[in-house]
Amino acid sequence: MRSSEELMLLLELNGYDIKKYTLKKQLEFEKNGNLDVHKHKKLKDIILSHYTYENKDDYFHRNPLMYRENWGEEVKSVDQFYFKHPELDYEMTILEFMKLKSFNEVQKESILYDIFDTWVEEYRDASITQMENLREMINLLPKKHNKRHKKPSKIPFFISLLLFIIIAFLFKNPDTLKPSIFTFTHSIVDGLNGLLYDLPLYSLLGWFTAFFTGLHLVLNSLLTRYIKDVRSEKNKHVVMTFDKWDEDMKNIRLEQSGKLEDYVDSVIKNPRQTFLDVKTIVGPEILLDKFKRYVSMIEFKRDWMTKNYIKIMRWQLRSFAIGFLFNLVFFGLGFAFMWGWIDV
């Protein structure tokens, strides 16, 4: 057991609210293949379920509607899975059941419907619980106006943008920096532009200055966008989003039930044709995994930002300081050359 898990267990035992952490661990442990971890509400039960879980390869005694690709290549059809029924003396697969001579078509149809009803109900309860957990994880996110992660200041950004534009025009189109109403700038622009072409090292300094100034612009923009995304994951549309997800899950479960009913009708008519590709009936599980990945991505982004916020803000400010320092040296040397303070 990890030290962080031990600490959270102590907090839970002392009455602290660790619901968000509990839901995150639940989502994390589900990836291990433990299909029962979602049933628990307390962290101690979740951790106990996780560390006592044995990932056995006997997938054929599980619910086929919970099929995952890592179950192995030998898992192909629904008729490979074992089931129990009150009218049967022992467990068997659908393939074995359809070969029995002791049941007529009506009895077999009834038993098959019982089997699939059990699997569908079990999966329905599990998926509803997991969707509720995902919804609660999003609800526990800070609101959009939360100021814990402040965006970088716009002042350094606009200063860097102005300096970058000036340097770019000095290199490519100096006449743009010589408006007719500001005639005093003409000699300065001509002088700096001339130095760029007359002194290779000064020109190289100009390229480095533009590079570090532009680097700050990129870092500032990326960081601002990232923080905006993290802060806006919980917004006024989140409830509508989950309502749509719930509706999507209901629709795809209905589609799944329809496929199973068609399958029962098919095998009753053709008892020897019991094969049904398990991948064709796990639409709800695929959709649920998609929702889980989305919520996990949100949690990862927020956790990463919380952990590294101070560090990346420092680097963003350092990039501005380095770029600004290069600009001071670049323009300082330029004026010094132009005014004769330093011999060329």
pTM exceeding 0.85: no
Asked if residue 212 has pLDDT above 90, the reply is: yes
Burial of 9 (0-12, 13-18, 19+ CB in 10 A): middle
User: Considering only CA atoms, which of 6, 70, 76, 7 is closest in space to residue 35?
Assistant: 70
**pLDDT band at 166, cuts 50/70/90?**
very high
**pLDDT band at 58, cuts 50/70/90?**
confident
Asked if residue 150 has pLDDT above 90, the reply is: no
Please give the residue range of the domain that contains residue 43. 1-55
* Residue 21 located in a structural domain: yes
* Residue 48 located in a structural domain: yes
Share of the chain above pLDDT 90, in %: 41
Q: Quick one: CA dihedral 229, 232, 238, 241, positive or negative?
A: negative
* Residue 8 located in a structural domain: yes
**pLDDT band at 209, cuts 50/70/90?**
very high
* Residue 333 located in a structural domain: no
3-state SS assignment for residue 277: strand
* Residue 260 located in a structural domain: no
Three-state SS string across 206-236, please?
HHHHHHHHHHHHHHHHHHHHHHHHHHCCCCC
Q: Please give the tally of structural domains in the chain.
A: 1
pLDDT for position 72: 82
Asked if residue 301 has pLDDT above 60, the reply is: yes
Q: How confident is the model over 88-103, as pLDDT tens digits?
A: 989 999 999 999 988 9
| One-letter identity of residue 318 | R
The mean per-residue pLDDT over the stretch 152-168 comes to 93
Which of 61-65, 127-131, 322-326 shows the lowest per-residue confidence on average (mean pLDDT)? 127-131
Q: How confident is the model over 214-264, as pLDDT tens digits?
A: 999 999 999 998 888 877 766 556 667 778 888 898 899 999 999 999 999
**pLDDT band at 104, cuts 50/70/90?**
very high
User: Considering only CA atoms, which of 223, 205, 234 is closest in space to residue 323?
Assistant: 205
User: Considering only CA atoms, which of 284, 278, 293 is closest in space to residue 123?
Assistant: 284
* Residue 209 located in a structural domain: no
The mean per-residue pLDDT over the stretch 200-223 comes to 94
**pLDDT band at 148, cuts 50/70/90?**
low
* Residue 87 located in a structural domain: no
Q: Are 284 and 125 in contact (CB under 8 A)?
A: no
**pLDDT band at 296, cuts 50/70/90?**
confident
* Residue 324 located in a structural domain: no
